[in-house]
Amino acid sequence: MAQLRGKRILVTGGAGFIGFHLCQKLSDFTPNLTIYDNLSSGTLKNVTDLAKVNFVKGDILDLTKLYSQEKADLIFHLAAQVVVPYSMENPIEDFETNARGTLNVLEKARKDDAKLVFASSAAVYGNPNQLPTSEDYGFHPFSCYGLSKVVGEEYCGMYANQYGLDVTVLRFANVYGSRCHGVIHDFLDKISKNPSKLEIIGTGMQTRDFVHVSDVTEALILAASNESANGETYNIGFGKTTAIIDLAKMMLKILNLQDKTVITTTNVSWQGDIDKIWFDITKAKKELKWNPKVSLEDNIKDIIAEGKLTK
Ligand SMILES: NC(=O)c1ccc[n+]([C@@H]2O[C@H](COP(=O)([O-])OP(=O)(O)OC[C@H]3O[C@@H](n4cnc5c(N)ncnc54)[C@H](O)[C@@H]3O)[C@@H](O)[C@H]2O)c1
């Protein structure tokens, strides 16, 4: 943390779910924090709820605007098209935002001689046959989203090797917490609309590694603060895997709906969906001294009780 004090920080995608939590933390110790976001999936509320940030409504594909931003010392690149099924229907748009957009942001980092932390994804592993999956499993993307993140990562590697840019890649598993989107939010949404039925897309046997956004935020900050993280890639998950059907049952139990809500499954999932996500997080624990603290079981009760997801 102390290493970041006073730095000029640019957060692309800062108006999104993870960006909000990261900027909330960063704004405590730097007055020079700029969010650059086109608000395609992020919200203005995520910006206005933060007292001490500069906000630029801008697209990472708009080179003139991006390069006219004040020189940064550190860039967190979170802006992305994040929806897997959308990437399968709109592969070119997904490529533009996630691959070309990442290249554009790397160029901004090169011009500024800034360190860059890139938000990548479990989707680069596709459907891994090594579980838990470690960083050296390699790229086996199974969706256009996964492939566009691979391209982003490859450019990060190129900029680190050829231009000596300080770059760290973090591969996130399934991030959850207040203001999130994704399966927990979808389930709560469905149950609130119709408590008699909860439909799971897919078989329900697909598993996910849920990591809380506060732990992800800490990993982002550690990656940015540690010189030894330059040129490295880290898995950021909880290191545990949970079947979606078990998540559904856990939520219904907490809501006391286990005898009232019938769980159904579509059996067929969306194109590009992954069967199992389970991260080996040994490297981040050892090298970043990062230890995820919030378990799904401990936190989900609070999330539901406090209605945190919809705040
Ligand atoms: N949430 C997860 O579980 C998860 C998992 C793996 C990886 N990630 C990665 O973490 C990052 C943040 O994800 P999130 O969950 O906060 O998603 P999000 O959709 O809430 O945030 C993405 C932000 O990027 C902005 N954005 C999109 N296209 C843009 C563009 N062309 N120019 C400028 N801004 C643009 C959106 O408006 C949004 O605010 C993404 O790169 C995502 O791929 C997230």
Domain CATH for 131: 3.40.50.720
From 27, 37, 111, 29, select the one nearest 73 (Cα to Cα): 111
**What is the pTM assigned to this prediction?**
0.96
CA-15 nearest atom, ligand 1: 39
Catalytic residue list: 145
pLDDT of residue 89: 97
Residues 195 and 167 placed together within one structural domain of the fold: no
Residues 46 and 67 placed together within one structural domain of the fold: yes
Burial letters for 263-289: b for 16+ Cβ neighbours within 10 Å, e otherwise? eebeeebeebbbebbbbbbebbeeebe
The number of folded domains in the chain is 2
261 C-alpha to ligand 1 centroid (Å): 32
Residues 99 and 126 placed together within one structural domain of the fold: yes
Task: Return the beta strands (E) in 127-243 as ranges.
Answer: 167-172, 174-176, 197-200, 207-208, 210-212, 233-236, 242-243
Contact 152, 102 (CB under 8 A): yes
Residues 36 and 150 placed together within one structural domain of the fold: yes
Residues 54 and 78 placed together within one structural domain of the fold: yes
Residues 94 and 234 placed together within one structural domain of the fold: yes
Residues with Cβ within 8 Å of 158's Cβ and at least 6 positions away in sequence, in order, are none
Q: Which residues of the chain have pLDDT under 50?
A: 308-311
Residues 139 and 259 placed together within one structural domain of the fold: no
pLDDT of residue 307: 62
CA-175 nearest atom, ligand 1: 3
Q: Domain range for residue 144?
A: 2-176+212-239+280-287
CA distance 79 to 60: 8
Which domain CATH number covers 251?
Answer: 3.90.25
13 C-alpha to ligand 1 centroid (Å): 6
Residues 20 and 46 placed together within one structural domain of the fold: yes
Task: Return the beta strands (E) in 60-219 as ranges.
Answer: 74-77, 115-121, 167-172, 174-176, 197-200, 207-208, 210-212
Residues 172 and 250 placed together within one structural domain of the fold: no
Residues 75 and 156 placed together within one structural domain of the fold: yes
Secondary structure letter of residue 71 according to DSSP:
P
Residues 39 and 63 placed together within one structural domain of the fold: yes
Asked whether 80 lines ligand 1 (CB < 6 A), one says: yes
Residues 151 and 247 placed together within one structural domain of the fold: no
